[in-house]
Amino acid sequence: MAWFTRKNPGVAPQPEGDRSVKTEGLWQKCDSCSQIIWRKALEETMQCCPKCGHHFKIDATSRLKLLFDGAYTEFDTTLTSTDPLEFVDSKPYKKRLSDMQSALRQKDSLLSAEGTIHGRKVMVCVCELKFIGGSMGTVMGEKITRAIERCLANRTPLVIVSASGGARMQEGAISLMQLAKISAALMRLDEAKVPYISVLTDPTTGGVTASFAMLGDLNIGEPGALIGFAGPRVIEQTIRQKLPEGFQRSEFLLQHGFLDAVVKRSEMKDYIAKSLHFFCGPAA
């Protein structure tokens, strides 16, 4: 009798343990408009919602591929943080580092690479938000400083794409020293009249905002990016006032003179290329 109760008589029933949802992981909900989006459609729009334009976070490697014309050369790939304070919170800092390095297959929270943008040689540094919140420790400070020194030696323009929660607390004052170290190196770049473009993405906060992220000859924000030093809740609790709508978002900062432009991800490469053409003239 079981034959006549099946919905598909020609197909044997699957055991309970073998059943799975075939569409799992193929769709994503937009954080802004709640639209359900096919992941392949997101890839075609550079991880931007096709309905409302919300910019999803992307990893550092994807960012480099979006900006460069093709192949690029990565630098300082073996640099890794130590544990000068023998710091322990919910887990030892050494364990946290090794877990991140294994999961992401990179040594720290910044990639430094050289390639071409519309035929012009450019040095690009990109923060990896997934690596301990894109936090700035000694390795990030050293890699950015070395990138600046390469730019000085070869008169190569510099682009830094920020996505970070700020200085890395597990390295204490040593991480805070990187603010001054990078800022001093950028001053030398400015004196040499080598262009530096800063791209601020969601989120860019803390010591990164307080140093290199806001020191560009041109400071560009992605749409909707959270940019600031302290977070909105901390500020509200401190001043005991309600903050304006959209406070610390890139559009708010542009309106109040803290950014030079807000540029969509799909237009970012062309915008940077045109800006460098303005600063440096035609590509060689």
Beta bridge partners of 158: 123, 196
- The CATH code that applies to domain 57-280 is 3.90.226.10
115 within 8 A of 51, measured Cβ to Cβ: no
Q: Hey, where are the domains in the chain?
A: 25-56, 57-280
Query: Which pLDDT does position 1 carry in this prediction?
Result: 46
**pLDDT for position 173:** 96
User: Counting Cβ atoms within 10 Å, is residue 171 exposed (0-12), middle (13-18) or buried (19+)?
Assistant: buried
Largest CA distance in the chain: 88
d(CA 182, CA 195): 15
CB atoms within 10 A of CB 228: 20
Query: By the 8 A CB rule, do 197 and 124 touch?
Result: no
What pLDDT score does 182 carry? 98
Single pTM value for the model: 0.90
Helix (H, G, I), strand (E, B) or coil at 56: coil
Residue 250 has phi, psi (to 5 degrees) of: -60, -35
Q: What is the predicted pLDDT for the residue at 6?
A: 52
Ranges under pLDDT 70 in the chain? 1-24
Side-by-side strand order, sheet with 110-117: 73-75, 110-117, 120-127, 158-164, 196-204, 218-221, 261-262
Cα–Cα distance measured from residue 134 to residue 108, given in angstroms and rounded to the nearest whole number: 9
Amino acid 284: pLDDT? 76
Phi/psi of residue 191, each to 5°?
-65, -30
DSSP-assigned letter for residue 13: P
Model pLDDT, residue 5: 53
